[in-house]
Structures are given as C-alpha cells and as structure tokens.
Structure 1
C-alpha cells in the first residue's frame, strides 16, 4: 500500500504542477464546470492526506464526492442547457445524478461508458461509506475494540479509483484552459503513476 500512497502523492503533485498558472476565460458555464472539476481534484488530494494519517473511513467517504464532482463538472460543460446552468449558478437545479449520467451517455460524451460502469458497480458502496452505512460501520472495530479495520486491498483499490478519477478530471479540465497544453505534459503526468501507465500504454 505504501507504494500506492507514494504514487498517489506523485500524481497529485504532477496534476497541480501541470495546472499551475493555467488561465480560464470564465463565464457562468465554465465557472460551474471548472469549479466542480477543481473540487474533484481537491477531494483527490484530501483522500491522500487522510490515508497518510490512517483516517481510512473518512478518506473513502470522500470518494463519492470526488466522483460526483467530476461527473457534474463534465455534464455542466457538455450537456447542461443555458437555463440549467443558470439554475446551477443560483443553486436551484433539480436533477438526479442518474439523469445526469444518462445525458452524458445520450450525447456520447467521451468515456461515458467508464463513468457508467463506476456508477453501476460501486455507487451503492460509495454511498454506504459516505452515509455511514454497513460498509463503514463494519470496519470500525478490531478484536472488539474501536480501531480501523480496513484491508490494504480495499485502500489500494480506493486509491486506484481515486487516481483514475483525478486523471480523467484533469483531461476534462484541460478542455477549458486558454492555452494549448502539449501532449508531452500529459504523458509526464501518466508516467507518475503505475496504474495509469498500464491503462494508457497504447496512448491517449
């Protein structure tokens, strides 16, 4: 698990470095999209910090928020109508997360299949960790004492999913920057993480 933590830290720093001093020409749509995407990246960093402090329950609880922020930021830019953006901006949007994912699918937004797979396979567990359900409660004790009981396999899987979401969030954010980002800079981010190197071995 230590290696995964080190790679997560390296990925987070690589993303921060790539985005540093990047400009965004902001209108209401981009404020909603970029704001949500940047929140997702902050959750990724918070998950890392909590894991380093061995606060595993709190770290996993943030994974749903990281995923949601990424999906919503993507939807704001690619799918939301002007009226819906106004509703988001004024905190009046009334739309389910499932319908947002369905619209990403219907408009064939890049990699929507991966996002739907994450929703279908992990959503109930993510909600359980976030809302202190059974997945969270059962891991609060060890040998009858209050002590974290999260397996290394679970933590590594959580970090890998968080890292994948962070990279996908980065790719989405780069659609909004004012300047061209050379592919070599993105490849450098990939090289910071073993899982990403395996996934993107054949290129972006």
Structure 2
C-alpha cells in the first residue's frame, strides 16, 4: 500500500503541472470546467492523504465527490447548454440555498453522449455502473460503511479505491489538458499514463 501511494504521488506530481498552464481563454464555459477540474484534483489529493492515515471510510466518500466533480467538469465543457453555463455563473455569484444545479451526474453522462470523447463517456458509465451504489452506501452511512468500518478494510479494496481515484485523476488531467488548448500537453497525458500504469486501473491502460 505504501508503495502504491508513493507511486500515486509521483503520478499526481506530473499531472498537477498541467494546471500551471492555465485555461486557453476566459470564456465562462472554459473557466467553469477548469474550476471543476481543480476541485477534482483536490479531491484526489484528499483520497490519498486519508488512505495514508488509515481513514478509509472517508477516503471512499471523497472518491465519489471526485467522480462528481470530474463529471460536471466534462459536462460543462462538452454538453451544458449556454443557458446552463450562464445559470452556473449567476447562481454561483449568489451562493444561496437554491443556487444549485439540478442535473444529476447520470443526466450529465447521458447528455455527453455524442459530444464528449466516446472513451471518456464509456469510462464514466463504467465507473457509475460498477461503483455508484457502494459509494452512496459509504456516503450515507449505509451497510457498506457499517460492515467495513466495523470489521476492517481488506487491503485489496483500498488498493482498488486508490487506483480508481488515480484513474479519475488521469481523466481530470486530460480534461485540463484539453482546456489549455495545447495539443502537445494532451499527448503528454497519455505518455504519463503509460509511465505510471502500475497505479492505474486496467481500463485506462
């Protein structure tokens, strides 16, 4: 586990540099997607830190938030209507109790079909199909959290969670690279993935 976390930090270090370039322009669509990519990046850091300190239940909960942030980032760029983009900025400026997008991540994934890269949409669908119910159980204090927190976490489960988080991190890096407008950076993401394939899920390799 320690070796996996160490290798994951190296992966994160390479991907984090993409954010030093900044977005290609200051349009609301690009900026909103960029901000959500940054949120997803922060969540990936939190997952690893929580695992490092043995806070596995919380790490799994944050993994769901990481997925949701990345899903929204991708949807905002590829599939959200101009009206949705405008509403996002208008509501964000108010920060009231009602200022929240009502689209679920399932709706966002459906809306991305035919607009976002096909491989990305497939990975979103796969992640949601395989992990969503269990992640919800942890977030809402369901049977998964009760059983695992009480009986202990198998090491393989935590390895899978860290790798899943790294997979989401890789997708976040690709989305951020696209938002920079620099095609060379997007190519670099694939090279980074190949260099760190040991800490990524097989779906991305």
Which TM-score tier does this pair reach, normalised by the shorter chain?
Answer: 0.7 to 0.9
Q: Work out which of the residue numbers 189, 193, 202 in structure 1 matches 2:192.
A: 189
1:22 is matched with 21
Count of matched residue positions in the alignment of Structure 1 and Structure 2: 194
1:58 is matched with 58
Mapping 1:37-52, distance limit 5 Å: 37-52=37-52
2:177 is matched with 174
Name the SS of the counterpart of 1:48 in structure 2: helix
Q: Work out which of the residue numbers 134, 139, 154 in structure 2 matches 1:151.
A: 154
Q: Does 1:135 align with 2:144?
A: yes
Distance in 1 separating the partners of 2:141 and 2:79: 32
Q: CA 1:52–1:100 in 2, change beyond 3 Å: closer, same or farther?
A: same
8 Å CA contact retained: 1:23, 1:178 = no
Name the SS of the counterpart of 1:136 in structure 2: helix
8 Å CA contact retained: 1:8, 1:193 = no
8 Å CA contact retained: 1:79, 1:104 = yes
Gaps of 5+ in 1: 143-148
Report the TM-score when normalising by structure 2. 0.85
8 Å CA contact retained: 1:22, 1:178 = no
1:165 is matched with 168
Q: Does 1:67 align with 2:67?
A: yes
8 Å CA contact retained: 2:79, 2:116 = no
Q: CA 1:106–1:67 in 2, change beyond 3 Å: closer, same or farther?
A: same
Report the TM-score when normalising by structure 1. 0.85
Q: Does 1:99 align with 2:107?
A: yes
Distance in 2 separating the partners of 1:114 and 1:180: 22
Question: Over aligned residue pairs, what C-alpha RMSD do you find?
Answer: 2.1
8 Å CA contact retained: 1:14, 1:192 = no
* Larger helix proportion of the pair: 2
Gaps of 5+ in 2: 92-98
